[in-house]
Structure 1
């Protein structure tokens, strides 16, 4: 005998999924406007839902952020594939990937902070995303190291941390429109192996 699903159960699940998607849409706009530290209650209010409904779907701010940036992972992964396919130079590929990574982690103001914390907290809902970022960065880094373009002691995890740190510092009060590029250049000269031209150039 085939057991028919209770229509009320199907409707409840449909309503729950609709609420979840609505919360994500509202939260994306809210975080884009106010940054990731904006009050969760304001998201629920803007969505026209009670706080209890919001927290049933997303118990913490980190779980909400994890769902939002997971939805953007497909775009970043597509960019990774493009870089791998179009750039045979491991050094150029690593630089392009770090730029793409910087764009990804700054989609919302303040996002680098929670991601940095998740790198050392395996229980965070953002931890899986961080590990994916580290893994992808490691692939580009190892290729650059094998080609002699990156110093052998540099770690993928530390490169991700430098991207997060640069993104955070670029938003500091003392930063201006040139700070981001300058910081990235400073970091790059730390991990990149000096070229023969640099090594032979006179020191000032």
Structure 2
């Protein structure tokens, strides 16, 4: 490769990194606005939160559905990436599991509106649901296996089984302020402990 080719390759790397960072900022701003105001919030509110113009959002996400899907996938990815990081940073795999489940509850409760908005497009929703399962079930399974291997929980629980239980406990949490899903999930997770 000649010098000009190396310079072009070097310039493309930081530019792609900046583009990814900018997109991440947009997605995080959109997620915050969606949680606070719902998925029908004005795009100008998202742009203001991200510190960009409305045109920038439409350049990245031509339709609201594109933006909602991207936010949902971004949040799934963040939850998936948190599992191994928590496992690496905690002495106790059970504590890592408990903290990951806490993040999963946040995801379920705050992203319910995103999933609801996408259910009108069954094919798109099915693809996102498959993405959700493909990314998160193995992470939950890894955390469960690590805690069982350490003897902190009883063995024999699967990631999908636990995630379904947690999901069922979160139903209605976004519409009834008297219901404390996090408290109920904490009881479920405590029940995994080996006595």
Distance in 1, matches of 2:46 and 2:193, equals 50
What TM-score do the two structures reach when normalised by structure 1? 0.56
Question: 1:138 Cα deviation (Å)?
Answer: 0.6
Q: Is the 8 A contact 1:80 1:97 kept in 2?
A: no
Distance in 2, matches of 1:73 and 1:21, equals 16
Distance in 2, matches of 1:76 and 1:33, equals 26
Which residues of structure 1 form unaligned runs of 5+? 196-204
Q: Is the 8 A contact 1:26 1:43 kept in 2?
A: no
Which residues of structure 2 form unaligned runs of 5+? 48-52
Alignment correspondent of 1:43: 43
Distance in 1, matches of 2:62 and 2:78, equals 19
Distance in 1, matches of 2:169 and 2:33, equals 24
2:182 counterpart of 1:180:
yes
Cα root mean square deviation, aligned: 4.5
Larger helix fraction of residues? 2
Question: 1:188 Cα deviation (Å)?
Answer: 5.1
Distance in 2, matches of 1:60 and 1:150, equals 41
Q: How many residues align?
A: 171
What pairs up with 1:25-174 in 2 under 5 angstroms? Answer: 25-35=28-38, 38-39=39-40, 42-43=42-43, 46-47=46-47, 48-49=53-54, 52-53=58-59, 55-56=61-62, 59=66, 61-70=68-77, 74-75=81-82, 77-83=84-90, 86-87=91-92, 91=94, 94-106=97-109, 108=110, 110=112, 113=115, 123-124=127-128, 127-145=130-148, 147=151, 149-150=153-154, 152=156, 154-173=157-176
Distance in 1, matches of 2:44 and 2:59, equals 8
Question: 1:144 Cα deviation (Å)?
Answer: 4.4
Instruction: Give the 3-state SS of the residue equivalent to 2:69 in structure 1.
Output: helix
Q: Is the 8 A contact 1:23 1:54 kept in 2?
A: no
Distance in 2, matches of 1:68 and 1:183, equals 20
Question: 1:25 Cα deviation (Å)?
Answer: 4.8
User: Larger C-alpha radius of gyration, 1 or 2?
Assistant: 1
What TM-score do the two structures reach when normalised by structure 2? 0.58
Q: Return closer, same or farther for 1:54/1:159 CA change in 2, 3 Å cut-off.
A: same
Q: Return closer, same or farther for 1:186/1:138 CA change in 2, 3 Å cut-off.
A: closer
Distance in 1, matches of 2:83 and 2:152, equals 26
